[in-house]
Structure 1
Amino acid sequence: MSMGLTEIILKVAEDMQILKLMGDEMESLLAARNNDGYYGLAIALQNGHADTIQAYGELIKKAELNPDKIADILQAKVKIKLKEELKEAYVFGLSLALQNGHAHAIRVYGELLNANSAVFDHDKLVELLAAHSVDGAGHRLPALYLALQHGYADAVLAYGELLKAATLSLDETAILLAAKRFDNVPGLLIASNNGHSEAVLAYGKLLKNSCLTADKTAELLAAKNNDGVSALLIALQNGHDEVIRAYGQIINDLEFSPTETEQLLVARCESGLTGLFLALKYGQVNAACRYGELLRSAGLSPYNVAECLAAKGVDGQPGICMAYQNGDTDTMLLYAGLIDYAGVTAEEIAEHLSEEQKVYFLDVVNECQKITL
Structure 2
Amino acid sequence: MAINLLKLQKKLGYDVDTGGMCYGIAYMAIQAIIRDDLETYISRIKYLEKTLLQHNNNQDDAIDEIVEKINVAYEKRKNKQNLDSEEIKLLDILNWLDGVQIYYNYNKLLSGGQNYEIATNFFSANTNQKEKENRKIFVIAKELNMLTKELINDIFDKIDNSKDSIAFSLGTPDHIISVGKSSNYKPIYLINHSTHKHIVNKRSLYSEVLCAFNYSTSIALSILTYSYQEGNISVKYVTNNLDKDDLCKLLCIALQDGYVEAIKAYIKRISNLARINKQQLLAAKSQDDGTPGLYMALQNGHPEAIKVYIEGISNFDGIDTQQLLAAKNQCGIPGLYIALQEGHAEAIKVYIESISNLRVIDMQELLAAKTPDGISGLYMALYNGHVEAIKAYIEGISNLSRINKQDLLAAKKQNGTPGLCIALYNGHVEAIKAYIEGISNLAGIDKQELLAAKNQSGTPGLCMALQQGHAEAIKAYIEAIFNLPGINRRELLAAKTRFGTSGLHIALQQGHSEAVKAYKETISKFKILSNGLPGFLL
In which range does the TM-score fall when normalised by the shorter chain?
Answer: 0.7 to 0.9
Change (3 A) 1:220 1:346: farther
> Which SS does the other structure have where 2:482 is aligned?
helix
Q: Which residue in the other structure is 2:354 paired with?
A: 162
Deviations 1:186-205 (A, max 9, x none): 11111100010111111112
> Which SS does the other structure have where 2:236 is aligned?
helix
1:153 has 2:345 as partner = yes
How many pairs were matched up? 308
1:90-169 mapped onto 2 (5 Å cutoff): 90-114=290-314, 117-121=315-319, 124-134=320-330, 139-168=331-360
Distance 2:505 2:391 in 1: 33
Distance 1:253 1:120 in 2: 40
1:229-244 mapped onto 2 (5 Å cutoff): 229-244=417-432
> Which SS does the other structure have where 1:78 is aligned?
coil
Structure 1 or 2: more helix by fraction: 1
Q: Displacement of 1:44 after TM fit?
A: 0.9
| 1:322 counterpart (506, 511, 514) | 506
Q: Which residue in the other structure is 2:371 paired with?
A: 181
Change (3 A) 1:31 1:342: farther
Change (3 A) 1:69 1:6: farther
Distance 2:407 2:517 in 1: 34
Distance 1:118 1:326 in 2: 60
Q: Displacement of 1:282 after TM fit?
A: 1.5
Distance 1:333 1:196 in 2: 27
Change (3 A) 1:8 1:105: closer
Q: Given that residues 280 and 323 in structure 1 are in contact (C-alpha distance below 8 angstroms), is that contact kept between their aligned partners in structure 2?
A: yes
1:42 has 2:252 as partner = yes
Instruction: Tell me which amino acid in the other structure corresponds to 1:309.
Output: L
| 2:529 counterpart (319, 336, 344) | 344
Deviations 1:31-58 (A, max 9, x none): 217xxxx711001111122132133245
Q: Given that residues 274 and 313 in structure 1 are in contact (C-alpha distance below 8 angstroms), is that contact kept between their aligned partners in structure 2?
A: yes
Distance 1:336 1:345 in 2: 16
Distance 1:67 1:337 in 2: 71
Q: Which residue in the other structure is 2:447 paired with?
A: 261
1:227 has 2:415 as partner = yes
Q: Which residue in the other structure is 1:371 paired with?
A: none
Q: Displacement of 1:346 after TM fit?
A: 8.6
TM-score (norm 1): 0.76
Deviations 1:129-184 (A, max 9, x none): 111013xxxx3101111111111111111211331242135xx1111111110111
Instruction: Tell me which amino acid in the other structure corresponds to 2:512.
Output: D
Distance 1:256 1:291 in 2: 22
Q: Given that residues 267 and 313 in structure 2 are in contact (C-alpha distance below 8 angstroms), is that contact kept between their aligned partners in structure 1?
A: no
Q: Which residue in the other structure is 2:158 paired with?
A: none
Aligned-residue sequence identity (percent) comes to 34
Q: Given that residues 339 and 346 in structure 1 are in contact (C-alpha distance below 8 angstroms), is that contact kept between their aligned partners in structure 2?
A: no
Instruction: Tell me which amino acid in the other structure corresponds to 2:342.
Output: H
Q: Displacement of 1:99 after TM fit?
A: 1.2
Change (3 A) 1:160 1:141: same
> Which SS does the other structure have where 1:7 is aligned?
strand
Distance 1:198 1:235 in 2: 14
RMSD: 2.5
Q: Given that residues 173 and 210 in structure 1 are in contact (C-alpha distance below 8 angstroms), is that contact kept between their aligned partners in structure 2?
A: no
TM-score (norm 2): 0.53
Q: Which residue in the other structure is 1:353 paired with?
A: none
Which of the two has higher C-alpha Rg? 2
| 1:308 counterpart (488, 492, 500) | 492
Distance 1:164 1:99 in 2: 20
Distance 1:106 1:3 in 2: 21
| 2:468 counterpart (282, 301, 310) | 282
Q: Given that residues 223 and 230 in structure 1 are in contact (C-alpha distance below 8 angstroms), is that contact kept between their aligned partners in structure 2?
A: yes
Change (3 A) 1:332 1:228: same
Deviations 1:75-102 (A, max 9, x none): 2123434xxxxxxxx3221111111111
Q: Given that residues 101 and 152 in structure 1 are in contact (C-alpha distance below 8 angstroms), is that contact kept between their aligned partners in structure 2?
A: yes
Distance 2:402 2:393 in 1: 14
Q: Which residue in the other structure is 1:85 paired with?
A: none
Q: Displacement of 1:241 after TM fit?
A: 1.2
Change (3 A) 1:159 1:342: farther
Q: Which residue in the other structure is 2:516 paired with?
A: 332
Q: Which residue in the other structure is 1:291 paired with?
A: 477
Q: Given that residues 31 and 73 in structure 1 are in contact (C-alpha distance below 8 angstroms), is that contact kept between their aligned partners in structure 2?
A: yes
> Which SS does the other structure have where 1:242 is aligned?
helix
> Which SS does the other structure have where 2:462 is aligned?
helix
Distance 1:173 1:153 in 2: 19
| 1:80 counterpart (288, 310, 334) | 288
Instruction: Tell me which amino acid in the other structure corresponds to 1:280.
Output: L
Distance 1:261 1:191 in 2: 19
Distance 2:470 2:252 in 1: 43
Q: Displacement of 1:246 after TM fit?
A: 1.1
| 2:385 counterpart (195, 210, 214) | 195
Structure 1 or 2: more strand by fraction: 2
Segments of 5+ residues of structure 1 without an aligned counterpart are: 17-25, 82-89, 351-361, 367-373
Segments of 5+ residues of structure 2 without an aligned counterpart are: 1-220, 225-233
Change (3 A) 1:265 1:55: same
Distance 1:190 1:346 in 2: 40
Distance 2:292 2:275 in 1: 18
1:248 has 2:411 as partner = no
